[in-house]
Amino acid sequence: MPRPLARVLALLELLQSGGVRTVGELAGRLEVDERTVRRYVGHLLDLDVPVESVRGRYGGYRLAPGYRMPPLMLTEEEALAVLLGLVAGRRTGLATATAAASETAAAKIRRVLPERTRLRLDSLLGSLAFTAPAGEAAALDATVLLSVADAVGHHRPVAVRYTSGAGRSSERTLHPHGLVVHSGKLYVTATEPATGEERTFRLDRMSGARVLPGSFTPPAGLPGPARRLLTGFATAPYRHEVSLRIQGPAERIHTRLPPGVAVVTELPLDDGADPAAERWCRAELRVERLDWLPGVLAGLDLPFVVERPDALRGLVEDLARRLGESARRDP
């Protein structure tokens, strides 16, 4: 921190301790001359800090009676960024296990803001609407989150107690690679050194996280944590394995079949095919039910071929028949 700025903040701390401070006393404590003290007071006044000048034999400077400088000085834009982050985190499920923490933090920030700024921010936050997060939001243990984040950042192993979705608890040592937020939950991608397997774990199912001594080298050549998480979701073992060929760009296909649902790969051109023609992609996904897929494919409005399973072809034909009947029905 530059020395003049550090001394201005030191002057503020001295004035916050209460009482009237003479110019000579302040100059001695700050190790500057009296003229510089007056210049520093001017800086505080420019920041809307109510420093009063007291005349007389025992005069000097003091803060306005009843005024306490807040620990944070935020611009309107900075306050908006912090409050929006707190609100968004709470509404999307990315919150610590202490549910009141974000609320009390927001209240502290609001309390130290100028009234005009606070009223404007209250108006904005009151007008915001959030869609519900996909799935039930899960609270996080702040100690676990910080420990795992530290291990990720410094490539250090971490020991955790983990409870699976089936309720089975186990002690695990992990080499964590990255943290990913998905549908209101926080995941960590990691390698289990005991087996060498690449795995994904939910942080809300972890407890007792401890960063261990030593370090590890992250594996090279792997996709990023977000891509690995979504690919894991798309290839999870469900009842039906679906393979589709769809004529259109992968970006458009992902608007209806997002990366967490389907793995989409662009297919090479056939011999003699027109290079200017729209390319085909293969979409592969695993699902427990097929009944929702025909509507998604119709919504894509792209040519497609069902490679498997055969049951999906029948469902597509049923939807086409029902749509045709509806289109021919008299009002």
> Among 24-38, 71-85, 195-209, whose mean pLDDT is lowest?
71-85
Query: pLDDT tens across 218-241, in order?
Result: 877 777 888 888 777 777 777 888
- Binning pLDDT at 50, 70 and 90, where does residue 69 land? low
pLDDT value at residue 2: 46
Host H or E run for residue 82: helix 76-91
pLDDT value at residue 107: 72
Host H or E run for residue 254: helix 250-256
pLDDT value at residue 93: 58
In terms of phi and psi (left: phi > 0; alpha: psi -120 to 50; beta: otherwise), the region of 330 is beta
Neighbours of 41 (CB within 10 A): 21
- The label of the residue with tokens 């920030």 reads 109
pLDDT value at residue 280: 92
One-character DSSP codes across 96-116: ESSTHHHHHHHHHHHHTS-HH
One-character DSSP codes across 162-178: EE-TTS-EEEEEEEEEE
253 in Cβ contact with 302 (< 8 Å): yes
- Secondary structure of 199-248 in HEC code, one letter for each residue: EEEEHHHEEEEEECCCCCCCCCCCCCHHHHHHHHHHCCCCCEEEEEEEEC
Residues 6+ apart with CB under 8 A from 147: 158, 209, 210, 211
Which range, 75-84, 113-122, 258-267, is most confident? 258-267
In terms of phi and psi (left: phi > 0; alpha: psi -120 to 50; beta: otherwise), the region of 17 is alpha
pLDDT value at residue 157: 92
Strands 263-266 and 240-247: unpaired
Host H or E run for residue 281: strand 280-287
pLDDT value at residue 129: 53
| Fold assignment, 235-328 | Alpha-Beta Plaits (3.30.70)
pLDDT value at residue 184: 67
pLDDT above 90 (res 13): no
Which range, 4-13, 163-172, 267-276, 294-303, is most confident? 294-303
The angle subtended at Cα 171 by Cα 165 and Cα 173, nearest 5°, is 110
pLDDT above 80 (res 276): no
**Rounded mean pLDDT of 8-22?**
82
Mean pLDDT of the residues in the chain: 81
Question: For the domain 139-233, what is the CATH code?
Answer: 2.30.30
Query: pLDDT tens across 24-55, in order?
Result: 888 888 889 989 999 999 988 888 888 888 88
For 23-28, the CB contacts below 8 A with 24+ separation are 23/60, 23/61, 25/60, 26/60, 26/61
φ/ψ of 71, rounded to 5, equals: -70, -20
Parse the chain into domains and list their residue ranges: 3-63, 76-127, 139-233, 235-328
pLDDT above 80 (res 123): no
pLDDT above 80 (res 307): yes
* pTM, to two decimals: 0.50
Question: For the domain 3-63, what is the CATH code?
Answer: 1.10.10.10
